[in-house]
Amino acid sequence: MRQLTALDTQFLNVESATTAAHVAGLAILDPADGSVTRDNLAALLLERLHLSPALSLRLAEVPLGLDRPYWAPDPDFDIDNHLFETTLPAPGGDRQLADVVAGIHAQRLDRAHPLWEMHLINGLAGGLAAVYTKVHHAAIDGVSGAETLATLLDLSPERRPVPRQEAARDDAQDDAPGLVGMLAGAAVRTATHPLHALRSAVRAAGDLDAIPLASAVPGSRLIAKAARFVARDGKHRPELPDLGAPRTPFNGPISGRRHLSFGSVPLKDVKDVAKANDMSVNDVVMALCTSALRSWLKERDALPDAPLIVAVPVAVRTGGAQEVVGNQISAMIAPMPTNVADPDQRLQAVGATMSRAKRRFALAPPAWLNEICSLLPAPVTSLATPAIFRLASVTFPPINLIISNVPGPQFPLYLCGGRVLSYYPLSVLTDMSGGLNITCFSYDGMLDFGIVACPERMDDVWGLLDHLRTALTELSEGLARDEFRPSREQVARRTSAASRSSAAGKSSASAGKSSAAAGKRSRGRQPQPSRRGLARQPSA
């Protein structure tokens, strides 16, 4: 019996006519031998379904929404409810593929079945194929999503043998409780909710100054310090700058439509920039996004004077939690210095702000996001969430966008014998988080970007992708120019040598002046040989 957490349930509650809360990925395949077919995909899925619990469990709702739902096995599982096939019209270019996938991505999953779908898309230019897979965010996060994908992939074109599923366990152990059990559990949790909510509020209050919107409340820093004092949390937290999100064109109420773009940049170039500036790959990804967003906004005369505010999902999944369905994530909130004009200064500013945000995040409770989602009772949360998100988008958006970077394998993988050439992650848009989401996935020497946008909030999603590539080119060219510049050690040595030479020159000049004066005084007299020699020495 697995009950959804408050955070998992929030991903269900946020869904509305304009919001679909699933995460997805678009794999581009080279089906060299034509083995990537719907039949082969169906056989592969049925063979390995037991390796990923998220693919075989459905929701069991509590009557009237009185409590959080449960995960339960689907007794009527049918692969036809999850696997679909379509063909692109000629010529099958990237933009045609993006339009088709955007239409699928905008559709919500059917909650009567396990919350996932896979779409085989044929007809791509060059004889390629694509596989688009989406799973509800209530069931997986970024890390568990990558693990779920890994269960379907192989290290070579030959399909690896998979151990057969063990004998089924007692269904009563894994199934959701019956009606009476659900209502009894709901009654207990409703009665004890005030105590749990108070505990969650105290836990979250210690980092009130690091939570969007809450940090803008007058006295939030004092409240946070007081809460940490009461909790005897003596860890010194670095102060964060103002986390108020400025207005941008992509913030506000979203529609149900989606546009997307996808593309790749060399991971080596990103690593070179990171190494040269003593930064992480994730820091450089943030710098690329910062520069791209600055350029995009500047083109439209919509660049705010203040930095944008970004939420960066962070996995807090422990080593023994791979089998758990649901989310084990938190979020790191940081400003993006889009207001810094110089590229080098902007890169350094990103490094500094991310370093500060990481230090602050490391001291915060890892489950603060779940604690906030636990403050209201389940029935209230399910009814109020869409309205709260819509209202926040109109009044005070807490963040401008979400940016996520998921690490992946640096070697080729295969699906049904077809080599995976690229894997573009695609994520969620909500009213509160804005009409733009940027996610990237490192795979086989490339950094694959997937950008999802609401067309009513962002008119040119492909243009933003071009700006990302331009930002990396700009940083790489600066790195190449730096190769012809002396290193810091060389500059230090040259400066030291120049200082010594200058000192010696001043000493020589001083000696020359003294000798000239001595010559004037001794004019008309025969100098001593030793003095004559000394007098000539400075001018030699």
Contact 106, 16 (CB under 8 A): no
522, two tokens: 């001794």
462, two tokens: 């492909």
Phi then psi dihedrals of residue 401, to 5 deg: -170, 170
> Nearest-CA neighbor of 102 among 442, 461, 418, 417?
461
Q: Is 137 a catalytic residue?
A: yes
Contact 417, 36 (CB under 8 A): yes
Calpha distance 47→49 (Å, rounded): 6
Residue ranges in 91-136 assigned as alpha helix (H): 94-105
Annotate 275-341 with three-state secondary structure. HHCCCCHHHHHHHHHHHHHHHHHHHCCCCCCCCEEEEEEEECCCCCCCCCCCCCEEEEEEEECCCCC
172's enclosing H/E stretch is helix 171-174
Give the Cα-Cα-Cα angle 320, 328, 260 (nearest 5 degrees).
Answer: 125
**Catalytic residue chosen out of the listed positions 105, 137, 259, 467:** 137
DSSP state of 16: B
Residues 6+ apart with CB under 8 A from 84: 117, 118, 119, 120
> Nearest-CA neighbor of 111 among 69, 160, 173?
69
Give the total residue count for the chain: 540
Estimate the crossing angle of helix 461-482 against helix 343-363, to 10 degrees.
100
Mark residue 80 as left, alpha or beta (left: phi above 0; alpha: psi -120 to 50; beta: remaining).
alpha
Catalogue the active-site residues.
137
